[in-house]
Amino acid sequence: MDSYNSPSTKPLYRGTQITWYILGLLEVLLAFRFVLKLLAANPSAGFSSFIYNVSYPFAAPFLAVFHISKIAGSIFEWTTLLAMLVYWLIAWGIVKLFFMSKTVSTPEAASKLEDKK
């Protein structure tokens, strides 16, 4: 049975799609947060307030890691960039785990092991 037609291929594909999609949404949200803070957006404005409130739970674990750099009202939030990197690494790790569960034929496994030598 070739690995493209195995029963685990479609769920594997769907799982990786969902993981990258969720990461994409999270990264866009955090990128908006970063840019709004950098450009000193009014935190009382509807859009910026929405972005800050929705992104806060994802940025919060990282907020005390670095000092915030403030320049003339603008905030360079290193912590948001760190959060984006950490979430990307987590998503990458999840996708790698999905691929570890992929059905592999004996010849394919032998070939991969030979390539590692």
Q: Residue 29: its pLDDT value, please?
A: 98
76 DSSP β-pair partners:
69
Task: Please state the pTM of the whole predicted model.
Answer: 0.78
- Given a cut of 90, is residue 50 above it in pLDDT? yes
Residue 91 to residue 89: CA distance in whole angstroms: 5
The residue ranges of every structural domain in the chain are: 3-116
pLDDT by residue (tens digit) across 51-107?
A: 999 999 999 999 999 988 888 889 999 999 999 999 999 999 999 988 887 776 677
